[in-house]
Amino acid sequence: MSDRAGAGADGTLQRYLHASVTVARDPVAAGVDLVHRARGPLVVYERPGEVAVASGVLAEIVLDRRQVQVRIGEHRHVEPTGDEPLQQVHRLLAGLDVAGWRAYGWIGFELSYLLHGMPEAVGPAPLLHLVVPRREARISNRTAHLRATDPAGLADLSARLSAVPDQPPHHADGRPVDESSGAVEYRAAVASAIRDIRGGDLQKVILSRVVPVPGPVDLVATYRTGRRRNTPARSFLLRIGGVQAAGFSPETVIEVGADGTISTQPLAGTRALSGLDTVDEELRAELLGDPKEIFEHAISVQAAQEELRGVCRDGSVHIEEFLTVQRRGSVQHLASRVTGRLDAGRNCWHAAAALFPAITASGIPKRAACAAIHRYETTPRGLYSGAVVVADSDGGLDAALVLRTVFQQDGRTWLRAGAGIVAQSTPERELEETREKLRSVSPFLVGTDEPVPVAGGEVA
């Protein structure tokens, strides 16, 4: 295979066909209507001002602990995973013979073990899977900008967006989710982590627990229902490479613009939202005055600044927001935003390597926190606390932290939630915080008796 990955049988540059249509519905609803009953790989990704819907596979990149694979059309290329795996991803994306490509996909938490010198902790499962789609809609301001690699695909997108939706309304069916699943083990792990922190091994670690969901859920309907009741920084519906998820991300791991501007949004410090204004204001005041929560947040913001300084121009890193309170579904968080500008010779994937995994999903110092997570959590995280990503050919990157999410894979359905552990933590309060976070998703699950669609799109 050549240095550039040719898409056409004759090696010619692949180009999209374009169209625009007016959309009368809310962009999220329109995006969900577009993937209703769809099979195969797909992504719905919502960020401020845009809902993007991608389906089909024109090209894909899969990274695991041993190798990076890229496939486009009939062309395949495989190379060993090196010391800078995300720079390999950058190079392979840049070499795609696809005009104006945009890649959608996910990064699993276990990539952090490769990035932070713990290869022995990495299992055989894929760590990253990106897809450049055959069909794409970007919906904003009641207009959908459509792209497809063939006229039939473009016409199908246009027709489905213009049609009256045929899907019936869905309501959460109240599937019984045991919020206390694994509670005994979780309290014990938190107590051990507190001892480690007080012994000086680390400052903070985020420990999580898995909560099984009895039976499959309709992820499209769950996403539609849950999005109405959540206030996420990003939301997503994902079906790629055997991984299926619907989530309401409270924060971004990283946002990089085509001009090299970069930001990250650490959220740390939590109180529940009751739905009663007076109670929630009291909890907000309590959150802003709690020394433990403020300490946990402040060290996260400090660490985010240090990570950005490693990839940004001198003097460009600063805090735009500090100790605001953001409402995210069933909870409210202390929130800050740290920004900078990429240094010369650095790209968005350098920044991703510096910031991944999110401090608010791992801990401080990051390597020690990742080691503690590997030690105390009994199952791999996979997509949980990783990222759903959108990468553009102009150098832009947007990565949503995967929390407040329902997962489906290999016939299992589950939720997962964690809490930040510091020296002042108590096992019971951290357990209760995980329950509070689970309620951003658990009330909105829509059960199904139909076969779960196949994700597809794997590199063989």
**Residues in contact with 234: Cβ distance below 8 Å, sequence separation at least 6, in sequence order:** 45, 46, 47, 249, 252, 388, 398, 400
**Residues in contact with 445: Cβ distance below 8 Å, sequence separation at least 6, in sequence order:** 172, 173, 175, 177, 213, 217, 222, 406
Q: What's the token pair of residue 384?
A: 């949980």
DSSP state of 116: T
**Residues in contact with 100: Cβ distance below 8 Å, sequence separation at least 6, in sequence order:** 16, 393
Write down the catalytic residue from 251, 296, 433, 436.
251
Whole-number Å distance between alpha carbons of 103 and 222 = 25
Kindly report the number of other CB atoms within 10 A of residue 151's CB atom: 10
Whole-number Å distance between alpha carbons of 347 and 86 = 10
* 251 given a catalytic annotation: yes
Whole-number Å distance between alpha carbons of 217 and 272 = 26
Closest C-alpha among 400, 390, 407, 372 to residue 112:
372
Angle at 162 between CA 156 and CA 166, to 5 degrees: 90
Whole-number Å distance between alpha carbons of 337 and 142 = 29
Whole-number Å distance between alpha carbons of 224 and 331 = 20
Active site residues: 251
